[in-house]
Structure 1
Amino acid sequence: MTATGSAEGVPADHQPRAAVSGLVDAVVLGSGVNLIEVVRALSIAGVRSGVVPGPAEPARLSRHVTTVAVRDWADPQLGGEDEFVEKLVRYGLRQSAKPPLLFTSDEALLLVSAHRQRLAEAFRFVIARHTLVINCADKGQFAGLAARLGLPVPATLVLAPGTDWRVPDVAGVGFPLVLKPERRDRAWHSGLGIRGKALHLETPEELAAVWPALRELGQTILLQRAVPGGEDRMESYHVYVDELGQVVGEFTGRKIRTLPTQYGHTTALVVDDAEDVRRCGQQLVAALGLVGVAKFDFKRDDDGRLHLLEVNPRFQLWHHPGARAGANIPDLVHADLTGRPRPPSAPRLRTVHWCHPDDWFAGRRQGLGRVAWARWALRCPAKAFWAWDDPLPLVAAGVKRARR
């Protein structure tokens, strides 16, 4: 299968599997932990990556990569998109065969989706239809999509604080609330002075206190009814659907710890086998008409019900522990895109734990002692940035953190 993506998510440049022989290196766009963990998943299958990271990215020091170009994916004001796409296309056209193209950040996803026709001249990729990409990347539009399709999301209110000085009436949603930006970027974190992905509000007074900063930020925001419980109730469904609409690879997982503790970034997780999460994810794939890869995020409430929070149609850090468990989604995609046979799927996935270096701090906040945490981390089959035969990304990640 040669999947280059059309406006409706179906590959536009389809060639038979026999048309390309052997392994073709992948080009991976993005930054941070998502980038290096997708590189890790590909390296398990013997695939070398050409990366397009941000500046000073630890992934650039991996022995499994070659740096193709550099782009600051985290800068929302970054210009020169057309010129950057042309640079990528020139690189792709110089290769002996169209390289597979993978995207590990929202910014990379949006760039590939917006320029899919031009990029398809030099790369092979599989991606959701453009309207679905936009609806998933923009939380305001996703709220509208969820309402139209009747998806199991918490009660949500979409607001534009920059156009209204009055604190909104949220009686229809109710407290406690989770406040989210339409898209997370540097302005969101610096404008509100927070490290987390969202802000928890217990009372109308707390909403009123933060409202002036939201007006200054000028972004569309979401106010969503909070699902009770900690981050360890966050569960997810991960899937690759080919252009024929068939589920090729899938697994489920659960967060263990995050930093910050509330609405933070994942520092410890487990790939498990939650049947109800898988079943709900499969139903949502069908409802959305999804093609490509995606991660469905749920939170389980006190009664065990799953509430959908977001859908991310891109590659991400969970694909490394998923590969260790027996479901290597990047490798399956790469196999289809290069025409080689799909790797066999494990009849039953292993339970695999993964940890990030920052889990040291998250574990301490949960009361884990140094020795207990170290023993747990050493037993994790998958570790962010680290591999015994490829240690330099972890060294670079430590230096980068120390310089913050």
Structure 2
Amino acid sequence: MRYSRHVVGTLAQLDHWTQADDIVAQLVTWAGTQQGQPVLIPQTDGDLLLVSRHRAALSAAFRFVVAEEALVEDLIHKQRFQALAQRSGLDVPPAAVMPADGAANLPRGLRLPVIAKPLTRRDLVGLDLTGKAVRIDGEADFRELRRRTSAQGIDVLVQELVPGPETRMESWHAYVDGEGAIAGEFCGQKIRTWPLEFGYSTAVRITATADVACAGREVAERLGLHGLIKVDFKRDPAGVLRLLEVNPRATLWNFPGAVAGVNLVALLHADLIGRPRPPVPPLRAGVTWCAPREDRWAAAAAGVSTTAWLAQMLRCSARSGASWDDPAPFVRGELAPAVKRRLRRVRGGRVAGLRRE
């Protein structure tokens, strides 16, 4: 998005997990050059933890809303979230922590199949996972998982699998103001992910599913949440919504939600700068969003033809990094790097061929 015509400036890219102090210093310095306090909106787990843990320094320079620090830590850390949800009487699948050097077998009280996921997203790369979790069906899978965790020293949460495809993943999205009132809300359902199982969303649909909204409101109330909220559920074969995680921050869903008429970020922004909130029209359910490059991979893996996928992509109401009236993110951020990579491979092949001759 750094190439978008809406972007007026950028900061040096630093790792929010390992360079938090440098990021805070950079942000505070930049804020000092602006007229008034800018609005700060975390968009990833790393962003959220950074803002929460450095809220004292950042609050002097920025306007933002994040949950209480202990609650943020509970929501981001998988083991702490499991305990919080159980204390709050929320329906989460049974789970247990498998230490990095623990036994390579099913934790007591759990039934196969299960999934394993690192306690924070920071460790996804360390476990060499392409998705958010890995499926465990038996002893061989546990041994492979044990090999990965012990090599990297990473504990994981082992959780009973909620059966069904990723299209059974549904979510509630809202902005809850400081008084605890819901200023705007909508629901969503995944269409495709990459990888196909436990992957990241590549195509989604905005919905107005009543039981999802009801369940999301109950989670927000029991946990005392405010600000931007995303609550993830998976609908089991009996139709019951099982709670998987809660993200108290901005997400990719805010874009299609705004296209559908409910601009949660705009509502939050208006409150932060002390201006009247924009009107919230009736939700236009059915709006779709996709990330074209990754969704093409997901569609191909799911057996969708290129022609059928192209028709679906062109019908999308919102696309990540691909807009006719703002083409630079796609041209400079996606197309140009892909062309450069292709040219390097072609030139490398020619050089290798000459050497072989």
TM-score by length of 1: 0.80
Question: What is the identity, as a one-letter code, of the residue corresponding to 1:293?
Answer: L
Is 2:12 the counterpart of 1:70?
yes
CA distance in 2, matches of 1:348, 1:142: 31
CA distance in 2, matches of 1:118, 1:401: 40
Q: How does 1:364-375 map to 2 (within 5 A)?
A: 364-375=300-311
Q: Aligned residue for 1:170? A: 107
**2:121 is paired with a residue of what secondary structure?**
coil
Is 2:3 the counterpart of 1:61?
yes
> Deviations along 1:332-359, whole A, 9 cap, x unmatched?
1111111121111112433201111211
Is 2:120 the counterpart of 1:183?
yes
> Deviations along 1:69-112, whole A, 9 cap, x unmatched?
123337x4x23x33431221122232221111111111111110
TM superposition shift of 1:159: 2.5
TM superposition shift of 1:184: 2.2
TM superposition shift of 1:273: 0.8
Q: Aligned residue for 1:378? A: 314
Task: Find the structure with the greater CA-based Rg.
Answer: 2
Q: How does 1:264-275 map to 2 (within 5 A)?
A: 264-275=199-210
Query: Alignment identity in percent?
Result: 41
CA distance in 1, matches of 2:121, 2:337: 21
Question: What is the identity, as a one-letter code, of the residue corresponding to 1:279?
Answer: C
Q: How does 1:83-232 map to 2 (within 5 A)?
A: 83-162=22-101, 164=102, 166-185=103-122, 188-189=124-125, 191-232=126-167
**Bigger shift: residues 246-255 or 191-200:** 191-200
Question: What is the identity, as a one-letter code, of the residue corresponding to 1:274?
Answer: T
**2:233 is paired with a residue of what secondary structure?**
strand
Q: Aligned residue for 1:257? A: 192
Unaligned runs of 5+ in 2: 343-357
CA separation of 1:87 and 1:193: change in aligned 2, threshold 3 A: closer
**2:2 is paired with a residue of what secondary structure?**
helix
**1:136 is paired with a residue of what secondary structure?**
helix
Q: Contact between 2:45 and 2:121, CA under 8 Å: does it hold in 1? A: no
CA distance in 2, matches of 1:390, 1:193: 34
TM superposition shift of 1:168: 4.0
Q: Aligned residue for 1:279? A: 214
Is 2:296 the counterpart of 1:360?
yes
Q: Contact between 2:162 and 2:236, CA under 8 Å: does it hold in 1? A: yes
> Deviations along 1:303-339, whole A, 9 cap, x unmatched?
1000011111110100000000011011111111111
Question: What is the identity, as a one-letter code, of the residue corresponding to 2:179?
Answer: L
1:247 to 176, 179, 182: 182
TM superposition shift of 1:260: 0.8
Question: What is the identity, as a one-letter code, of the residue corresponding to 2:110?
Answer: V
CA distance in 2, matches of 1:401, 1:234: 31
CA separation of 1:101 and 1:236: change in aligned 2, threshold 3 A: same
CA distance in 1, matches of 2:115, 2:81: 16
Q: Contact between 2:175 and 2:185, CA under 8 Å: does it hold in 1? A: yes
Q: Contact between 2:105 and 2:139, CA under 8 Å: does it hold in 1? A: no
CA distance in 2, matches of 1:359, 1:367: 12
**2:80 is paired with a residue of what secondary structure?**
helix
Q: Contact between 1:73 and 1:108, CA under 8 Å: does it hold in 2? A: no
Q: Contact between 2:254 and 2:265, CA under 8 Å: does it hold in 1? A: yes
Unaligned runs of 5+ in 1: 1-58
Higher RCO (C-alpha under 8 Å, 6+ residues apart): 1
Q: Kindly tell me the number of residue pairs found equivalent between the two proteins.
A: 339
Is 2:334 the counterpart of 1:397?
yes
Q: Contact between 2:14 and 2:23, CA under 8 Å: does it hold in 1? A: no
Q: Contact between 2:132 and 2:199, CA under 8 Å: does it hold in 1? A: yes
TM superposition shift of 1:301: 0.5
CA distance in 2, matches of 1:98, 1:68: 17
CA distance in 2, matches of 1:341, 1:381: 27
> Deviations along 1:229-284, whole A, 9 cap, x unmatched?
00000000111111111111111000000111101111111001110000000000
CA distance in 2, matches of 1:401, 1:277: 39
> Deviations along 1:155-189, whole A, 9 cap, x unmatched?
11112223x3x22442411100010001123x533
**2:135 is paired with a residue of what secondary structure?**
strand
**2:8 is paired with a residue of what secondary structure?**
strand
Question: What is the identity, as a one-letter code, of the residue corresponding to 2:178?
Answer: E
CA distance in 1, matches of 2:270, 2:127: 43
**2:129 is paired with a residue of what secondary structure?**
coil
Question: What is the identity, as a one-letter code, of the residue corresponding to 2:297?
Answer: F
